Amino acid sequence: MRWVGLLVALYGCAPPAEPLPIPAIDAIIRTCVMQSSCLGDPYFTVSRCVETFEGSLRTGSAIFFGPESPMVRRYVDCAARSADCASAIDCASLGYGADYCAHNPGITCDRDVVVYCAGSGGNIFNDDCAARGSHCRVIDGRALCTDGCSCTPTTYDRPICDGDNVIYCTRGIREVTHCPTWLPGSGCRQDYSGGWSSRDGCRFHGAPCAGAARCEGDVVVSCNAGEELRIDCTELEARCQAAGCVFTATECKEADADVCDGASLSFCVHGRQRTFPCASIGRSTCTVNTQGEGMCL
């Protein structure tokens, strides 16, 4: 599997300068198995999930329109220290479960946390505004992370950089994320794609660059909006070839479906077939849906 296409799609504008250490591959695998098993609705195969999570952690970019990189890191940290689904979801949702939501329906503020209680609680998208350098405030029945300043919607009709802040205007109030606080080592970077999905956001800093992607030894160096993104292929059990990371192992392909091996889930990661025992997250059986996406039951 070549990484360049995915990384450019995830990346946005600028590469890491001093990124936090990338979690161990076993921790990312555990997170992906728990995501499908604990939430009960697989969105990816384990292989695709691992690939996507690694890309987000290495570039600092959000997963398409899903969780931002610091949230992905939170999920991985929670899964690594949780023995079962209940504890993992409690951790990932910042401790806001059914008890809280029974008394606080809807989207509310609890101190500086935006809490989503549309269901029974345990929403992993609960948002710590303090970690963004903002405060939680309810505006017209909607909780959001803000600095409390007013804004003109036509000026901030999509996320836009203002210095190192990402600003979006909601009902006349600025939603604000201070990038160096939210994603250490990052700043706000403009998205020059111009497409319907273009949006500014927090990206790791990179050296100025120009030109096509290339290999420097086993490091892929690509350029987006004038800044470098460097990916060390050896950290992915791969080598750089034709400006992309190519896995050295060829036991399987990342596009392969998940399969059950007794009470374990088997899948391809970095070109190697791996097996995850469902008992390690408190589950006893394995199943795979018609899209080839597996989970433990």
Which tens digit of pLDDT belongs to each residue from 248-261? Answer: 999 999 999 999 99
Q: Is residue 103 part of a domain?
A: yes
Predicted confidence at residue 192, as pLDDT, reads 56
What's the rounded mean pLDDT across residues 183-196? Answer: 73
Residue 190 lies in a domain: yes
Tokens 């059986």 belong to: 285
pLDDT at 3: 46
Whole-angstrom Cα distance, residue 178 to residue 165?
4
The pLDDT of residue 196 is 46
The residue-averaged pLDDT of 187-202 equals 69
278 inside domain: no
Q: Has residue 45 been placed in a domain?
A: no
Q: Which of 83, 117, 77, 118 is nearest to 100 (CA)?
A: 117
pLDDT band at residue 179, thresholds of 50, 70 and 90?
A: very high
Supply the pLDDT for residue 6.
44
Mean pLDDT of 152-174: 88
Instruction: Please tell me the predicted confidence (pLDDT) of residue 19.
Output: 61
Q: Does 16 fall in a domain?
A: no
Confidence at 59, pLDDT banded by 50, 70, 90: confident
Q: What pLDDT was estimated at residue 237?
A: 96
Encode pLDDT of 79-121 as tens digits. Answer: 999 999 999 999 999 999 888 998 998 899 999 999 999 766 6
Whether 163 shows a pLDDT value over 80: the answer reads: yes
Whether the CB-CB separation of 244 and 22 falls below 8 Å is answered with no
User: Is 47 a member of any domain?
Assistant: no
pLDDT given for residue 47 in this prediction: 96
| Number of Cα atoms under 13 Å in the Cβ half of residue 237 | 15
pLDDT given at position 79: 98
pLDDT digits (tens, 9 = 90+) for 211-249: 899 999 999 999 866 788 899 999 999 999 999 999 999
pTM tops 0.85, yes or no: yes
Q: Is residue 241 part of a domain?
A: no
* Tally of domains within the chain: 1
Domain limits for position 193: 95-205
Instruction: Flag whether 71 is in a domain.
Output: no
φ/ψ (deg, to 5) at 250: -130, 30
Across all residues in the chain, what is the average pLDDT? 88
CA 283/CA 264 separation, integer angstroms: 10
Residue 13 pLDDT level (bands cut at 50, 70, 90): very low
pLDDT category at 283 given cuts 50, 70, 90 is: very high
Cβ neighbours of residue 46 closer than 8 Å, sequence gap 6 or more: 29, 32, 33, 36, 258, 265, 267, 269, 276, 293, 294
Which of 117-121, 126-130, 168-172 is predicted with the least confidence, judged by mean pLDDT? 117-121
- For 28-49, write each residue's pLDDT tens digit: 999 999 999 998 878 899 999 9
- The mean pLDDT value for 156-185 works out to 91
